Chains A and B, each alone.
Chain A
């Protein structure tokens, strides 16, 4: 079986954009999106200034993050190693966009499904070179079978020093560059201006490095295409609604198992959880580019995808919540106990899988690492306890229940705050990408929301209010504001986590 790859000799690339347009023509690609393009970077001081060109296209990774995360297996590998896409199976969840470290997937506005370079598989099957190869005036692109020792690509890769984009991601990229300068192949290095020499900048990543006026010779991108981020406000709301849903049910289960038989744990917890589960499902479906296909995730799940796995866990979680509420009305306390026992692992799973899902978003270094899962659990505890505290207004509970909720909210807030402080202020960044994201959080585009929203409302203010509550015998006058403020602060962080996670240029 062939294993197709590219060699791109940057010594020969003249930045003429013929490849970009030939690709558009071959695949009828709409305005605003690209399967391949050429980025340019200027560096050095006059008269030793340089301009560098980097044509990019899909790497057809040997271990393709887009395939791993795709919940419906719309992305698939052909026998020749090319990662291709069944548009008919794509629900438009954009997870692949979050996963690809090379920024190579996008939503096609015509089909509203994902699209990507497939090395022109349609041409390859006609024994034709990809369109970008055939058009290239200077023949800087060489295409062929990497496993065929007689093929030029294989020989070059064997003999010459090459670079690939982001080898540290371990994806096994198959586009090999000759003579690539770090400043162009590593997207984080060059600063990004607000205009290019060819015109306006569209969708500039907010976490881009700003030019240093003291150092004008530093590398700077002087042409690039627009880059859309995968996820936005829908995913932020999803984090909040799901946190409330799983947190409330989990805490309800704990209280029930600790002996509380009030309507709070018996009814309010599953009710709140069910309502927010439904909202979670709603925002997730709304976020899809093809919402009418939402059920594909259940009918054709890809079991390596945490989005597919999560869908099943969330479904189970929803069923338990519903059954629990039903049991309350039918007065089946034994069934509630069973539901509560089941809730403990399922709610943790429904909370924590999101950490693994975001970690499958390999493009984004901020989302990597186990702390995210722990923080999600802490936030779910915050959000669940806050929701139940508000629910207390509509029911009567024993003092210990109130105190438990209060202490849970305070404890979870403390843990969340510690994670925020440690991850964003104390711990060294493992990568430049991570550092840029954290910089954007600390002092960049997200600083105000971080300091006032996430740290203030989501951490310090609730703790102060909790101290007041403790001092006033767990007065609701302090606890309710504490719950509301904690929810707001949590939302602020969720927003930052989603947005800042995606604010660093990845191509």
Chain B
């Protein structure tokens, strides 16, 4: 029989001959280099293969890299569309400099050198004048591990700002409090029961690698339990779908915990050995003896109220379903997987308690680090050391970690406009990098106000592969490469193994294969599109041309003293010196480690890896368990912290153990008589990406985000399928269409992220097939009205498909109308909104938006009042054991004495 391969064998990659599909069945042959890289369209880091045409050097198509242990040769829709992005007619191909007023849309081309000179000079000045805190790097999806952190460290800056607080803070904090690791790494493929508070079969953090393994686990007989108020694609595949009343998830989770405890079907030995129950007893139940039995009794008392019946009343999920789920958890033993990343945790005030309650079940089952259980992410993610590590920054940047949020995970990034409004500082040089805060974050008009104000943002540089709403308000728009146009290393905890991926600019690699040396990547990429790896090196040399600032030395070659480091040298050094096993694997094939990575795009660090480090005996430190000294976990107690002394000491004693606390939109508080609903605004469609989605093949499938509303609710409001609805939030409203469905819990409405992109200019500033042209009218005191002039339209371009755009409405930008709602502990923006629905009136049009930023600042202050600021018990700004993407020196933690 004919054996079919999923991919051409590696031996053919340098001389692959393919039939041209478009002239088939004529057998026209084309010659390709197959060059591996890493996808840049989400954080999964899936391996891809670029088919580079030997004649044209164009990327003909993208497939999965079969050698990649995480993605195993497969990709999702988003990966395959990379060529759409490369050839997008609305791509930014050259560096642009603003010439008119900021935001006016007047641009002039600028050379890379001119841009570097200007930006570098400005940063140099800030450093020389000790205004380091006025330089800020704000990143969306990093798509790389550690490179830019090192750059910022080399510059001596505490300047790393991220998107984490609109994404995963409450998942991270919840996991971190338990284990000292802020991400779970579930081993879905071997699980017996999988409990998801997320929609990993359509989005999730590592969609493609995780979806593969969830279905693999399910095929092997695992039971899939999904909590989601909405019929997601993931709910659709669930054996038990629990459509909760939003924010009540913890009630169900604790009911499951109670069931496990009551029936004794939990891993007693694991809990006895690894949970810090002694601390709990000493602190909370001094009345009881310090025995494990006493702890068990106390647990029963703590969670006594969480009967399935109680959970049913709270969550709306029938008690029998909760029991079914509880039994499935009990049956799983240590092969029990859970995951929560955004969804409920990101939706609600105290969302990190939802995560904690979820992980409580993992702990009860003793599934930590077990086959089919949940690893700590560090076990499955490999970050190699970069060359010549600079020291930690010596100061604390309060614009990133203000005193009000000592426990935030991480930077309070989405509050920046409010911080500046309050006069907490200014930003002289502001990089946004593959990040579109004006569009992605809540309260976008406050971002617009901030970006327009040159006294707040001195110089705004947008590093981006394509136009964004934020880039429109930049001073420099610097085009950076996509997944096949740049160098990065990346690793993710996709499964119970470990790998390191290498992203590379495939056209550059092809040119070099052809024998044409390439100086910088922008010579090989389309137009003058560059890559950040080289950009940061060049910029660093502009900041410190003579080395007197002590910065340049970090960007000098480890091989050629005093010379500028090249990307080959940078990554070559990493692969030679900090990836165990790689040099040996390379030399076995007579390759240098860099050549090996260029050839395969990935290195398997560990075939199988389970988190067992805590069981390792140690000489000193660690924790004493049953008379032995073991390494333990990365928590202060070295145990899994059921009781968090940190929370108790830092002002949150009532939250010291996993608890059910309803969030900011609690169903009991909603008034149906005024048509109040809970808006779930943070779900995703499997084909969309945050800032990089607007391409033809993806938009053809999904281009609009109607408001999901339950049949009965719609009927009550007199709303039919497709009718316009006005959704009133705390600071304004938006108008969209209703999509009436049985796939959502009554009382909840839902709207997908990622749609409703807009531009302010007919011809530039956004993909014409994916943005609406809008006009913004301004009131005198922070009022804004946005109206769509027209939606997507067919247009003429070099791509004949541009004229075939058939979709029109491209969604509504709901986030503009959301006030900021920072969780006082995790710092997470709590996405769910309490909204009032009404049928749209005669003057309302699709896409209308009204916002009052004065109101949004008022609400900001109300949320800020919930915080319990630093210092902590030791006079510091933040617990020393808490992660930060870029940790300053110890001294910077001390809150200065007034």
Chain A interface residues toward B at CB < 8 A:
2, 11-12, 14-18, 20-22, 24-28, 30-32, 42, 44-47, 49-53, 84-88, 109-110, 118, 120-122, 124-129, 131, 133-140, 143-145, 148, 150-151, 193-200, 202, 211, 216-217, 222-223, 226
CA–CA, A53 and B211, complex, Å = 15
B5 contacts the other chain (CB 8 A): yes
Q: Identify the closest chain A residue to B750 (Cβ).
A: A197
7 further interface pairs, Cβ-Cβ under 8 Å (given A21-B698, A31-B804): A16-B201, A52-B236, A124-B4, A134-B63, A137-B212, A148-B1, A193-B721
Are A50 and B4 neighbours in the complex by a CB distance under 8 Å? no
The interface bits of chain B over 204-239 (1 if a CB of A lies within 8 angstroms of the residue's CB, else 0) are 000110011001101100000000000101111100
Tell me whether A127 and B697 are in contact (CB under 8 A): no
CB neighbours of A138 from chain B (8 A): 211-212, 215-216
B731 to chain A, nearest CB (A): 27
- Residue of B at shortest CB range from A14? B201
Q: Residue B73 at the A interface, CB < 8 A?
A: yes
CB distance from B793 to the nearest CB of A (A): 13
Q: B742: CB under 8 A from chain A?
A: yes
**A50-B236, A150-B1 are contacts. A31–B700 as well, Cβ < 8 Å?**
yes
Partner among B2, B22, B73, B237 whose Cβ is within 8 Å of the Cβ of A127 = B2
Which residues in A have their C-beta under 8 angstroms from that of B702?
Answer: 198-199
Contact of A16 with B806 in the complex, beta carbons under 8 Å: no
The contact of A135 among B25, B63, B218, B243, by CB within 8 Å, is: B63
> Could you pull out 27 A-B pairs where Cβ atoms are within 8 angstroms?
A14-B201, A14-B686, A21-B698, A27-B22, A28-B22, A45-B742, A46-B711, A46-B742, A49-B231, A49-B742, A50-B231, A85-B25, A109-B804, A121-B24, A122-B18, A122-B21, A127-B5, A128-B7, A137-B76, A150-B1, A194-B721, A195-B722, A197-B739, A200-B809, A216-B711, A223-B701, A226-B806
Min CB gap A115→B, angstroms: 10
B861 beta carbon closer than 8 Å to chain A: no
A198→B701 contact, CB < 8 A: yes
With A25-B83, A134-B6, A134-B64 known to touch, is A20 a contact of B696 (CB < 8 Å)? no
Interface centre among A17, A28, A144 (most CB of B within 10 A): A17
Task: List the B side residues contacting A84 at CB < 8 Å.
Answer: 24-25
B704 within 8 A of A: yes
Contact of A135 with B64 at beta-carbon distance under 8 Å, contacts A51-B231, A118-B24, A195-B739 already known: yes
B74 at the interface (CB under 8 A from A): yes
Closest Cβ neighbor of B704 among chain A residues: A199
Contact A46 B745 (CB under 8 A): yes
**Which residues from 734 to 783 on chain B have a C-beta closer than 8 Å to any C-beta of chain A?**
737, 739-746
Tell me, in angstroms, the Cα distance from A45 to B83 when the chains sit together.
Answer: 41
Name the residue on A nearest B46 (C-beta).
Answer: A137
3 tightest A-B CB contacts, nearest first:
A199-B704, A198-B702, A51-B236
Question: How far does the Cβ of A70 sit from chain B's closest Cβ, in whole Å?
Answer: 15
B211, A47: Cβ atoms closer than 8 Å: no
Specify which chain A residues have a CB less than 8 angstroms from the CB of B73 in the assembled complex.
Answer: 134
Chain B residues with Cβ below 8 Å from A217 are 742
Contact yes or no, A17 B687, CB < 8 A: yes
Given A42-B231, A128-B4, A134-B7, A15 contacting B202 (CB threshold 8 A): yes
Q: Which residue of B lies closest to A33 (CB)?
A: B804
Which residues from chain A contact B20 at a C-beta distance below 8 Å? 122
B252 within 8 A of A: no
Residue B685 lies at the interface, judged by CB distance under 8 Å to chain A:
yes
A25, A85, A216: the one contacting B62 at CB < 8 Å is A25
Chain B residues lying within 8 Å of A143, measured Cβ to Cβ, are 4
Residue in A22, A26, A127, A137 whose CB lies within 8 Å of B4: A127
CA of A193 to CA of B722 in the docked complex: distance in angstroms?
A: 9
Asked if B149 is at the interface of the complex by the 8 Å CB criterion, the answer is no
The distance in angstroms between the C-alpha atoms of A502 and B698, with both chains bound, is 28
A214 to B746: give the CA distance in the assembly, Å.
Answer: 17
Q: How far is the CB of A15 from chain B (nearest CB, A)?
A: 5
A14 and B21 contact, Cβ closer than 8 Å, known pairs A51-B236, A127-B3, A136-B74: no
Distance A131 CA – B237 CA, assembled complex (angstroms): 24
Cα separation A135 to B46 with both chains bound (whole Å): 12
Q: In this assembly, does B805 line the interface, its C-beta being within 8 Å of a C-beta of chain A?
A: yes
Q: List, in ascending order, chain A residues with CB within 8 A of B745's CB.
A: 46-47
Provide the residues of chain A in CB contact with B24, threshold 8 Å.
84, 118, 121-122
Cβ of B813 within 8 Å of any chain A Cβ, yes or no, is no
Interface size class of B (residues with CB under 8 A): 35 or more
Complex interface: chain B residues within 8 A of A144 (CB): 1, 4
A204 CB to closest chain B CB, in angstroms?
12
B261 in contact (CB, < 8 A): no
Which chain B residues border A22 with CB–CB below 8 Å? 63, 75, 77, 80
Instruction: State whether B25 touches A86 (Cβ < 8 A).
Output: yes
Please give the distance in Å from B29's CB to the nearest CB on chain A: 10
In the complex, which residue of chain B has the Cβ closest to the Cβ of A140?
B215
Instruction: Assess whether A46 is in contact with B722, with CB atoms less than 8 Å apart.
Output: no
B807 close to A200 (CB less than 8 A): yes
Q: Which residue of B lies closest to A222 (CB)?
A: B741
Which single residue of chain A is at the shortest CB-CB distance from B316? Answer: A47
**How far, in Å, is A157 (CB) from chain B's closest CB?**
15
A126–B16 CA distance with the chains assembled, in angstroms: 10
Candidates B1, B218, B703; contact of A198 at CB < 8 Å: B703
| CA distance in complex: A151, B2 (Å) | 9
Query: How many whole Å from B868's CB to the nearest CB in chain A?
Result: 38
Residues of A within 8 A of B61 (CB): 25-26
A21 and B80 form a contact (CB under 8 A)? yes
Q: Is B808 an interface residue (CB 8 A)?
A: yes
Q: B710 at the A/B interface (Cβ < 8 Å)?
A: yes
B875 at the interface (CB under 8 A from A): no
B77 proximity list for chain A (CB < 8 A): 16-18, 20-22
- B862 interfacial contact with A, CB 8 Å: no
CA A104 to CA B211, docked complex, whole Å: 28
**0/1 string, B698-728, CB within 8 A of A gives 1:** 1011111110101100000000011000000
Whether B5 lies near A128 (C-beta < 8 A) is yes
Contact present for B703 and A200 (CB under 8 Å)? yes
B19 at the interface (CB under 8 A from A): yes
Inter-chain contact B686/A15, CB cutoff 8 Å: yes
On whether the beta carbons of A17 and B686 are closer than 8 Å, the reply is yes
B807 touches A202 (CB 8 A): yes
In the complex, what residue of chain B is closest to A226 when comparing beta carbons? Answer: B806
Q: Does B362 belong to the interface (CB within 8 Å)? A: no
- Which residues from A are CB-within-8-Å of B76? 16, 18, 137
B5–A135 CB distance below 8 A = no
Q: Which of B1-54 contact A (CB under 8 A)?
A: 1-8, 18-26
Q: Which of B234, B235, B701, B806 has the most CB of A within 10 A?
A: B701
Give, as a whole number of angstroms, the nearest-CB distance from A48 to chain B.
9
Q: Is there a chain A Cβ closer than 8 Å to B81's Cβ?
A: yes
Chain A CB within 10 Å — which of B61, B236, B702, B800 has the most? B236
Please indicate which of the listed interface residues A24, A53, A110 has the most CB atoms of chain B within 10 Å of its own CB.
A24
Report Cα–Cα, A303/B307, bound state, in Å: 75
* Contact A15–B743 (Cβ < 8 Å): no
Given A27-B22, A150-B1; A197-B741 close (CB under 8 Å): yes
Distance in Å from the Cβ of B209 to the closest Cβ of chain A?
A: 8
B801 on interface, CB distance cutoff 8 Å: yes
Nearest chain A CB to B721 CB, angstrom units: 5
| Residues B781-815 near A (CB distance < 8 A) | 800-801, 804-811
Residues in B neighbouring A128, C-beta threshold 8 A: 4-8
Interchain CB contact (< 8 A) of B800 among A45, A109, A127, A196: A109
B677 / chain A contacts, CB cutoff of 8 Å:
none
Contacts of B231 in A (CB 8 A): 42, 49-51
Alpha-carbon gap, A306 to B207, bound state (A): 50
Closest to A120 in B: B21
Are the CB atoms of A26 and B19 closer together than 8 Å? no
Q: Which of A16, A27, A28 is most buried by chain B, counting CB atoms within 10 A of its CB?
A: A16
- The reply to whether the CB of B241 lies closer than 8 angstroms to some CB of chain A is yes
Q: How far is the CA of A143 from the CA of B6 in the complex (A)?
A: 11
In the assembled complex, which residues on chain A have CB atoms less than 8 Å from the CB atom of B23?
87
Q: How far is the CB of B867 from chain A (nearest CB, A)?
A: 37
**Minimum CB distance partner of B20 in chain A:** A122
